[in-house]
Chain A
Amino acid sequence: EPEVTQTPSHQVTQMGQEVILRCVPISNHLYFYWYRQILGQKVEFLVSFYNNEISEKSEIFDDQFSVERPDGSNFTLKIRSTKLEDSAMYFCASSDADAANVLTFGAGSRLTVL
């Protein structure tokens, strides 16, 4: 069954460092997303991406965050200068054109900021 692949599974970084989280969405999907889940809290929407541009973003997704689709298969989330409160699970998801609301999530990347 096709799946969304995320790397790394766990990253530990120092406050102020830049972090890049990587995702390989399902190959025929056209919509890509990042969500995050702080430990013990809800899964929260960060950003959606379609046709090589951001289609929607939440208030969490400030200037410290950016997304990129550098090639035909990868989708990345960059956090420029990490803060302690960025510690969370980050989930990538994708969906296809026929069922855009049906998201398939990856296993997540756990980010720990010290």
Chain B
Amino acid sequence: QKEVEQDPGPLSVPEGAIVSLNCTYSNSAFQYFMWYRQYSRKGPELLMYTYSSGNKEDGRFTAQVDKSSKYISLFIRDSQPSDSATYLCAMSAYGNKLVFGAGTILRVKS
């Protein structure tokens, strides 16, 4: 089993839709969970950061972590064409080494 699994998509939605992205993981030592957005040939840009289980909201973005199920989600409300990008989940244990998912390609059609 891969340490972090993420459906690569692509996921195509109409403008204004609610987008749900998720990752599963196998390493129970992971405590820190991040979502990064990556545009083509650019570096990952941090969107959301969560420690341990729970929800966190920032504007149109909500991150959820369910450690009991080893499952994390990112919801994007009122999606815009500018949200079209690759979304990477990443997680780490007690050190600073991040383990990334494969990334989900999101396309928001206007």
Contact = CB atoms under 8 A, between A and B. Distances in A.
B100 A103 contact: no
A35 B46 CA distance: 15
Would you call the interface of chain A mostly helix, strand, loop, or mixed? strand
Interface residues of B, number: 22
A39 B85 CA distance: 16
Given A42-B101, A43-B88, A102-B49, A95 B42 contact: no
Contact of A110 (B41, B44, B96): B41
Given A42-B102, A43-B88, A102-B49, A33 B43 contact: no
B43 A45 contact: no
A76 interface: no
B95 interface: yes
A51 to B, nearest CB: 13
Contacts of A31: 96
A100 B96 contact: yes
Contacts of A99: 49
Nearest to A95: B96
B96 A107 contact: no
A59 to B, nearest CB: 12
A43 B96 contact: no
B86 to A, nearest CB: 10
Interface string A62-81: 00000000000000000000
Nearest to A106: B43
Interface string A94-114: 010001111111111010000
Interface of B: 32, 34, 36, 41-46, 49, 88, 90, 92, 95-103
Interface of A: 4, 31, 33, 35, 41-45, 48, 55-56, 58, 89, 91, 95, 99-108, 110
8 contacts: A42-B103, A43-B98, A56-B96, A95-B96, A103-B46, A104-B46, A105-B43, A105-B44
